Amino acid sequence: MKTMKSIRLLVIVAVCLLAGVGRAEAQLTKISLERTPCFGTCPVYKLTVHSDGKVEYEGKEYVKEKGSRSSKIDQKLFLRLMKKVDAIGFFKLNDRYEGRVTDLPTRITTVTKGDVSKTVRNYYGGPKGLRDLEQLIDEVTNSAQWTGVH
């Protein structure tokens, strides 16, 4: 009888532990994209998207709206960003992509997962998936409302 109770207890403990697997892994908390100046009229701004859907924008140069703005997106759109980050293996990308070209803006993408952040500077030659993520950040935040760039 004692053995059956012990086995039941072990099964309950095992089920509880297995149910918690994956929950301990940190979730993405924010994603940001910054576009830097070029020698011309490239829009210069920074977007930060938080997991709760809050969007922060800071317009600097060659944009329709200079200064700080904010909005909110549906959390489903943040989930799209999360899926793209996972799909491209963002945390395994190089920290920098550069080439022998001049006059391009740099795109700086930072993803924060728990208390760990990774930043990728994409001046030239970054993988297609990274470029797709950069475009998706602009798309889901509707950055065109502030930058004037469609």
Q: Does 60 reside within a domain?
A: yes
Tell me the residue type at 85.
V
CB-facing half-sphere around the CA of 110: CA atoms within 13 A: 16
Q: Does 88 reside within a domain?
A: yes
Q: What is the DSSP letter of 25?
A: S
Q: Does 30 reside within a domain?
A: yes
Cα-Cα-Cα-Cα torsion 114, 121, 97, 27, nearest 10 degrees, comes to: 20
pLDDT above 70: residue 24: no
Q: Give per-residue pLDDT as tens, 38-75.
A: 999 999 999 999 999 999 999 999 999 999 999 999 99
Q: Does 18 reside within a domain?
A: no
Contacts (Cβ under 8 Å, ≥6 apart) of 79? none
Domain assignment of residue 103, given as a range:
26-144
**Residue 69's CATH number:** 3.30.1560.10
Q: Does 34 reside within a domain?
A: yes
Q: Does 38 reside within a domain?
A: yes
Q: Which residue has the higher pLDDT, 24 or 95?
A: 95
Q: Give per-residue pLDDT as tens, 105-140.
A: 999 999 999 999 999 999 999 999 999 999 999 999
pLDDT above 60: residue 15: no
Mean pLDDT across the chain, nearest whole number? Answer: 88
pLDDT above 70: residue 14: no
pLDDT above 90: residue 99: no
Total structural domains within the chain: 1
Cα(106)–Cα(28) distance, integer angstroms: 23
Q: Does 49 reside within a domain?
A: yes
pLDDT at residue 101, rounded to an integer: 86
Q: Does 33 reside within a domain?
A: yes
